[in-house]
């Protein structure tokens, strides 16, 4: 039988670091680690290969973190998406106004996703992709070499892509413009 106490003693510190890097707040990370172990306890009978405990637990951890980020972002964006408004503050009058309001809400949501990255990656992605700062200038601001900054942006974008892929199915048009974003359904600990 799989003992949760053994898993706890072997993985608790690594899980806390893993979760804290993704949520940025130690108290929240500690709460989420507790949630992870509740799920481990509840689903321990599903583990078939005892030598694969750590990857199984980290897969559960990833799901818990994604669930947390989704819930947090839903709470933050409800106000933004409650009723799209045009620049005048009224209901959108045309489809262009509605599309513009959707892009504004999507942009706000994307900023929240970037903010969920570890701080050093979030800052690099923000400078490169949102603020349009040149790579040389951004590297100077962050005290990095040019190649170091480029690597940080690439790693941040990869983490952002993982978060977005876990969260939503994004449909692109022929010019790679976003046509539709559909939240993924989740079953148990795994996202579809």
Could you list the pLDDT tens digit for every one of the 192 residues in the chain?
Answer: 456 567 677 788 888 988 888 888 899 999 999 998 888 888 877 777 766 778 888 888 888 888 888 777 666 555 445 444 444 455 545 556 666 666 676 677 778 888 888 889 999 998 888 888 888 999 998 899 999 999 999 999 899 888 877 777 777 677 766 666 676 654 444 443
**For position 58, what pLDDT does the model report?**
84
**For position 67, what pLDDT does the model report?**
82
Give the number of residues written for the chain.
192
| Cα-based torsion angle of the residue sequence 106, 107, 112, 114 in order, rounded to the nearest 10 degrees | 120
**For position 145, what pLDDT does the model report?**
93
25: DSSP letter: -
Q: Are the C-beta atoms of 186 and 61 separated by less than 8 Å?
A: no
Alpha helix (H) ranges present in the chain? 4-23, 26-43, 53-81, 95-115, 119-125, 135-142, 146-167
Q: Read out DSSP for 32-86?
A: HHHHHHHHHHHHGGG---GGGHHHHHHHHHHHHHHHHHHHHHHHHHHHHHSS---
**For position 191, what pLDDT does the model report?**
43
Domains of the chain with bracketed CATH:
4-78 (1.10.1740.10), 116-191 (1.10.10.10)
**For position 147, what pLDDT does the model report?**
92
Q: Is the pTM of this model over 0.75?
A: no
Question: How many Å from the N-terminal Cα to the C-terminal Cα in the chain?
Answer: 29
**For position 134, what pLDDT does the model report?**
87
Q: How far is CA 58 from CA 18, 106, 188, in A?
A: 9, 29, 15
């Amino acid at each position: 039988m799989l003992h949760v106490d053994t898993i706890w003693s072997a993985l608790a510190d690594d899980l806390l670091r893993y979760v804290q890097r993704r949520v940025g707040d130690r108290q929240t990370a500690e709460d989420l680690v507790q949630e992870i172990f509740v799920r481990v306890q509840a689903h321990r009978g599903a583990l078939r290969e005892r030598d694969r405990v750590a990857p199984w637990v980290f897969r559960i951890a990833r799901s818990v973190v994604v669930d947390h980020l989704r819930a947090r972002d839903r709470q933050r964006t409800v106000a933004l998406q409650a009723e799209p408004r045009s620049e005048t503050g009224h209901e959108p009058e045309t489809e262009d106004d509605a599309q513009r309001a959707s892009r504004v809400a999507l942009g706000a949501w994307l900023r929240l996703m970037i903010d969920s990255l570890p701080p050093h990656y979030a800052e690099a992605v923000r400078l490169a992709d949102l603020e349009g700062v040149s790579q040389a200038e951004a590297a100077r601001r962050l005290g990095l070499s040019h190649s170091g900054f480029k690597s940080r942006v690439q790693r941040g974008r990869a983490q952002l892509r993982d978060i977005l892929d876990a969260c939503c199915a994004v449909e692109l048009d022929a010019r790679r413009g976003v046509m539709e974003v559909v939240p993924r359904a989740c079953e148990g600990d795994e996202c579809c």
